[in-house]
Amino acid sequence: MHIKKQRLLTPGPTPLLPKALHAMMASDVHHRTQDFQKIYRQVLGDLKEVFGTKNDVLPLVSSGSGAMEASISNLFRRGDKVIVCTAGKFGERWVAMTKAFGLNAVVLEEPYGSAVPAQRVADALAANPDARGVFVQASETSTGSSHDVKGMAEAVGKTDAIFIIDAITGLGTMPLDIDGWGLDVVIGGSQKAFMIPPGLGFLSISAKAMEFTKTCDLPHFYFDLKKELKSAQNGESSWTPAVSLIISLGEALKYIKELGMNKLIDNAQLLAKATRAAATEMGLELFSPGSPAASVTAVKSPQGMDSGVIVKGFRNEFGMIIANGQGSMKGQIFRIAHLGYFDFADLFSVVGALELVLNANGYAVPYGKGVAAVQNVYAEAAFPKVTVGA
Amino acid sequence: MHIKKQRLLTPGPTPLLPKALHAMMASDVHHRTQDFQKIYRQVLGDLKEVFGTKNDVLPLVSSGSGAMEASISNLFRRGDKVIVCTAGKFGERWVAMTKAFGLNAVVLEEPYGSAVPAQRVADALAANPDARGVFVQASETSTGSSHDVKGMAEAVGKTDAIFIIDAITGLGTMPLDIDGWGLDVVIGGSQKAFMIPPGLGFLSISAKAMEFTKTCDLPHFYFDLKKELKSAQNGESSWTPAVSLIISLGEALKYIKELGMNKLIDNAQLLAKATRAAATEMGLELFSPGSPAASVTAVKSPQGMDSGVIVKGFRNEFGMIIANGQGSMKGQIFRIAHLGYFDFADLFSVVGALELVLNANGYAVPYGKGVAAVQNVYAEAAFPKVTVGA
């Protein structure tokens, strides 16, 4: 009733880091000056540090999908055979994109809520020794499922193929040892765990993948990784950069470095664990119980309740924006995000609100039951030696 | 652990309305232009509407204490007898201020956690027929107690004295019928229910009080209500206004008008009710059980626990800034605020955090118990027909 603060609690755009938001006000700087070069160089260095790689990490003025496209249009040849894993809406985007560029996609599909096993990738590579690339989502945002990136990397690493990971919601929510595991292209987006508004895509690229640029014959101009890499070496971007977003990103990267990327990942994983505990305690079913992602938890709506009713209840009663299912999952699931600037206080609010919305719509759950599950997970992690009153 | 969003949950400064915060960026306007006059006139009109009075409401570039001083230095004569109610740190400020200006203060004191009964004011006025003013706090922020402003106004209205109300945390948290009850001077501050940063004091003034300016002999220059009133009639301020705050206030007043001042008051009252229910459910004692304010709820720390431990726990574990007791109440109580831009999602967080902090410091309370009390108060108000699962 009455005051309802608008709270953006979706798996992207995610809650904005206030300092990063406010920093955008200092955008009155020209992008071809030493002042901006200094900022840009710092961002390039911090991106590498936060990605945890010696590979170059290139920011692109695009959404994450733009960076996904760049990884195809800059590296492959028309008709190249590639292996594409799909178990959700974003896997389907890899399929559609590789096909749009005339690649020969061998599609490894699993049902929504599942993950493609690493062994299937190994088998597909064995069956298709001419495959030049493997595509996957680290975290499939549409289902709240995660893939075994490390296991897949082991299989790909034994071949001449390159491994391209959409880590748009994977970065900052799960360990991704780019150099150690040999992840050739890792893709991120600004409006995810990076805590700033949409408009920037990121892409780390290995030496092995850079070799592919030499033989690539697919048309591209705006997304030109060779050109972008050369510009980056001069502390510049190829085209006009999104100045406000780069400046904002600088603040966010500073925060993430202070926090520690590992802590950011732990944070998402602990929130996801607490959310799963709360859902189970409330008698709700998880949509991806076998391979749950830490970026977002997908929960099945109770029998007979359209999940849109829950999403609407959150918005109307509490001003909270949470995500419905996408595509055929719409109405079946709702999704609670954990990636980026989320904390336990947010989760107390979300679960407290969920209990009220469920009861108001005919699904009976005692007040405080899910919240207590969240508190227990917090207490186990923060106060392991404290005995709690019961 | 890990991510802790800084949440300002004190009874002033209060959480900022995002639109009002962002509006400050449009401060590149000169204060002696028609552009600014338009903004200022709108703010003056909206302040009257939100205060709910036909009296003029003057913004001053000062904290609330500046507006308090203005109500003394502009209206009284050296040696004037006045009746001053005090039951907390802000009552003591009235006492100190009236004395600093050489007034003859008849002090009506009640213990912290209590309120001065209206009858005591009536009796004091009868015993002191030469009293020219009565001073009180509508809401005593230091103790979380409120005064019977209406009852006192009835007593003062029968005399030639004027009634001066520090409503700095009263405005927007309790009904104050300025014209109907005859409240001569009502004082507010920007960083309270007005949802913007500190820096502006407000003061509504009746015709009866304006008459007092004619006989006033106390020295004043910066706070000159006659001059300020004349400036306001021309859509200006006497001195350079705090442009960013006036522009921010304009956005906040627009929001409050859309919400409705009565809804803002209901919001604080319902949050306060839910907080009292949660505290009681957790076995905690209220500091002002007899006359609780809706601006802030003061809760006694459990036996043997310094309330500083709780305040520190909120900050260290959750990044939440809540208020300790002031003066001799420090260490004894902690205060949970409800005035201005607070909602139920905030309260789920606060109570969820409180349960964790209490348990971690040796006070056993079952997780979710206080949160459930908050949810019950919400549900009774929002979903009166829903039966809740138990």
Tell me whether the omega of the peptide bond preceding residue B384 falls within 30 degrees of 0, making it cis.
no
Single-letter amino acid, residue B377: V
Task: With a cut of 70, say whether residue B185 has pLDDT above it.
Answer: yes
Residue B386: what pLDDT? 67
Say yes or no for a CB contact (<8 Å) between B259 and A2: yes
Say yes or no for a CB contact (<8 Å) between B355 and A375: yes
For A361-379, the pLDDT digits (tens) are 999 999 999 999 999 999 9
Task: With a cut of 80, say whether residue A109 has pLDDT above it.
Answer: yes
CB B34 within 8 A of CB B361: no
Residue B384: what pLDDT? 81
Cα–Cα–Cα angle for B204, B145, B357, rounded to 5 degrees: 120
What spatial distance separates the first Cα and last Cα of chain A, rounded to whole Å? 31
Task: With a cut of 80, say whether residue A390 has pLDDT above it.
Answer: no
What is the location of CATH 3.90.1150.10 in chain B?
A: 7-13+260-382
Query: B171 φ, ψ to 5°?
Result: -60, 125
DSSP letters, B291-339, are: SB-SSEEEEEPPTT--HHHHHHHHHHHH-EE-EE--GGGTTTEEEEE-S
Residue B383: what pLDDT? 86
Say yes or no for a CB contact (<8 Å) between A2 and B343: yes
CB-CB: which of B267, B317, B372 is closest to A368? B372
Secondary structure of residue A242 in the 3-state scheme: coil
Task: With a cut of 70, say whether residue B390 has pLDDT above it.
Answer: no
For B187-197, the pLDDT digits (tens) are 999 999 999 99
What ipTM was estimated for this complex? 0.90
Burial class (CB in 10 A: 0-12, 13-18, 19+), B386: middle
CB A338 within 8 A of CB A295: yes
- Interface probe with A: pick from B315, B318, B344, B361, most Cβ of A within 10 Å: B344
Burial class (CB in 10 A: 0-12, 13-18, 19+), B33: exposed
CB A325 within 8 A of CB A142: yes
Average pLDDT, chain A: 96
Residues 10-39, chain B, touching A (beta carbon < 8 A): 18, 25
Residues 329-358, chain A, touching B (beta carbon < 8 A): 341-346, 348-349, 351-353, 355-356
For B19-35, the pLDDT digits (tens) are 999 999 999 999 999 99
Using alpha carbons, list the distances in angstroms from residue A99 to A63, A81, A116, B7.
20, 10, 20, 48
Say yes or no for a CB contact (<8 Å) between A346 and B349: yes
Task: With a cut of 90, say whether residue B1 has pLDDT above it.
Answer: no
CB-CB: which of A5, A360, A386 is closest to B359? A386
Single-letter amino acid, residue A259: L
Q: How far apart are CA A355 and CA B249, in angstroms?
A: 36
Task: With a cut of 70, say whether residue A210 has pLDDT above it.
Answer: yes
Helix and strand element counts for chain B (H, E): 14, 14
Query: Which single residue is written with the structure tokens 């992602």?
Result: A293
Cα–Cα–Cα angle for B83, B88, B89, rounded to 5 degrees: 100
CB A307 within 8 A of CB A324: yes
Task: With a cut of 70, say whether residue B143 has pLDDT above it.
Answer: yes
Work out how many CB contacts closer than 8 A connect A with B: 182
Cα–Cα–Cα angle for A87, A68, A163, rounded to 5 degrees: 70
Q: What's the CA dihedral at A385, A388, B1, B4 to 10 degrees?
A: -150
Say yes or no for a CB contact (<8 Å) between B383 and A4: no
Task: Give Cβ neighbours of residue A56 (< 8 Å, ≥ 6 apart).
Answer: A44, A48, A204, A205, A229, A232
DSSP A329: G
Say yes or no for a CB contact (<8 Å) between B5 and A346: yes
Task: With a cut of 70, say whether residue A388 has pLDDT above it.
Answer: no
Chain B residues touching A5 at Cβ < 8 A:
341, 343, 345-346
For A269-325, the pLDDT digits (tens) are 999 999 999 999 999 999 999 999 999 999 999 999 999 999 999 999 999 999 999
Secondary structure of residue A286 in the 3-state scheme: strand
Token couple for A300? 């099945």
pTM of the model: 0.94
Residue B385: what pLDDT? 72
**Residue of chain B whose alpha carbon sits nearest to that of A340:** B3
Task: Give Cβ neighbours of residue A28 (< 8 Å, ≥ 6 apart).
Answer: none
**For the residues B71-98, what does the mean pLDDT come to?**
98
Task: Using a CB–CB cutoff of 8 Å, tell me whether B80 touches chain A.
Answer: no
Q: How far apart are CA B133 and CA A218, in angstroms?
A: 85
Q: How far apart are CA B336 and CA B341, in angstroms?
A: 13
Q: How far apart are CA B245 and CA B197, in angstroms?
A: 7
**Residue of chain A whose alpha carbon sits nearest to that of B316:** A382
Residue A42 neighbours by CB distance under 10 Å: 16
CA-derived radius of gyration, chain A: 21
CB-CB: which of B264, B360, B372 is closest to A383? B360
Say yes or no for a CB contact (<8 Å) between B345 and A353: yes
Could you please state the CATH topology (level 3) that the domain comprising A18-259 is classified under: Aspartate Aminotransferase; domain 2 (3.40.640)
Is beta strand B56-61 parallel, antiparallel or unpaired with respect to A133-137? unpaired
Residue B212: what pLDDT? 98
- Contacts of A305-313 with C-beta under 8 Å, sequence gap 24+, read A305/A361, A305/A362, A305/A363, A306/A331, A307/A331, A307/A332, A307/A333, A307/A334, A309/A361, A310/A334, A310/A354, A310/A357, A310/A358, A310/A361, A313/A353, A313/A356, A313/A357, A313/A360, A313/A361
B125 CA to centre of own chain: 26
Cα–Cα–Cα angle for B125, B129, B130, rounded to 5 degrees: 115
Residue A1: what pLDDT? 59
**For the residues A196-215, what does the mean pLDDT come to?**
98
Give helix A369-382 / helix A344-360 axis angle, nearest 10°. Answer: 160
Using alpha carbons, list the distances in angstroms from residue A256 to A47, A249, A268, B3.
10, 10, 13, 10
- Interface probe with B: pick from A3, A305, A354, A369, most Cβ of B within 10 Å: A3
CB-CB: which of B259, B359, B372 is closest to A3? B259
**For the residues B37-45, what does the mean pLDDT come to?**
97
**For the residues A71-99, what does the mean pLDDT come to?**
98
Confidence grade of residue A383 (pLDDT, cut at 50, 70, 90): confident
Task: With a cut of 90, say whether residue B5 has pLDDT above it.
Answer: yes
CB-CB: which of A4, A6, A356 is closest to B375? A356
Residues 233-292, chain B, touching A (beta carbon < 8 A): 259, 263-264, 266-267, 270
For B267-313, the pLDDT digits (tens) are 999 999 999 999 999 999 999 999 999 999 999 999 999 999 999 99
Q: How far apart are CA B179 and CA B265, in angstroms?
A: 18
What is the location of CATH 3.40.640.10 in chain B?
A: 18-259
Question: Quick one: residue A273, left, alpha or beta (phi over 0 = left, psi -120 to 50 = alpha)?
Answer: alpha
Q: How far apart are CA A79 and CA A99, in angstroms?
A: 9
Confidence grade of residue B75 (pLDDT, cut at 50, 70, 90): very high
Token couple for A268? 């998402």
Correct CATH for B7-13+260-382 of 1.10.10.10, 3.40.50.2000, 3.90.1150.10, 3.40.50.300: 3.90.1150.10
Alpha helices in A187-224 (DSSP H): 207-215
- Interface probe with B: pick from A281, A348, A380, A387, most Cβ of B within 10 Å: A348
For chain B, what percent of residues have pLDDT higher than 70?
Answer: 98
Smallest Cα–Cα separation from B3: which of A198, A251, A260, A371? A260
